[in-house]
A and B are shown apart, each in its own frame.
Chain A
Amino acid sequence: MTQINERILNCIKNICKDKPLIAEFLVDLIYEEVENPGLWKWREVYRKKIMQFLEQREGFNEV
Chain B
Amino acid sequence: MMSKVPDRLYIDENDRKLYDEVIVEIFRGKIGDEEKRWERKDQFLLAMAIGFKNEVRRPLKKKEGFIRKEYLKPEDKALINAIAIYDTGSIEVLLDKQKVFSIAEEYAHAGIRILHGEIKSGEPGSYLKKLEKDLFEKYKGLKNRL
List residues of A whose CB falls within 8 A of some B CB: 1, 3-6, 9-10, 13, 27, 31, 34-35
Complex-state Cα separation, A16 to B55, whole angstroms: 14
Task: Kindly state the separation between the CA atoms of A61 and B137 in the bound complex, as whole angstroms.
Answer: 37
Q: Is the CB of A31 within 8 A of B118?
A: no
Interface contact B55-A13, CB-CB below 8 Å: yes
Q: Tell me the count of chain B residues lying within 8 A, CB to CB, of chain A.
A: 13
Inter-subunit contact A5/B114 (CB<8 Å): yes
- B120 touching A9 by the CB < 8 A rule? no
Q: Which of B79-111 contact A (CB under 8 A)?
A: 110
B121 touches A3 (CB 8 A): yes
What is the CB-to-nearest-CB distance from A35 to chain B, in angstroms, rounded to a whole number?
6
Most buried by A among B114, B118, B120, B121: B114
Besides A4-B113, A5-B114, A34-B117, 14 other CB < 8 A contacts? Answer: A1-B120, A3-B118, A4-B117, A4-B118, A5-B117, A5-B121, A6-B118, A9-B54, A9-B56, A9-B114, A27-B56, A31-B110, A34-B113, A35-B14
Q: Which 7 residue pairs of A and B lie closest in terms of their CB atoms, listed nearest first? A: A3-B117, A4-B117, A3-B121, A9-B54, A4-B114, A4-B113, A5-B117
B42 to chain A, nearest CB (A): 20
Contact partners of B55 in chain A: CB under 8 A:
13
Q: Which residues of chain A come closer than 8 Å to B120, judged between CB atoms? A: 1, 3
The docked-state distance in angstroms from the alpha carbon of A27 to that of B54 is 11
> A14 → chain B, closest Cβ, in Å?
12
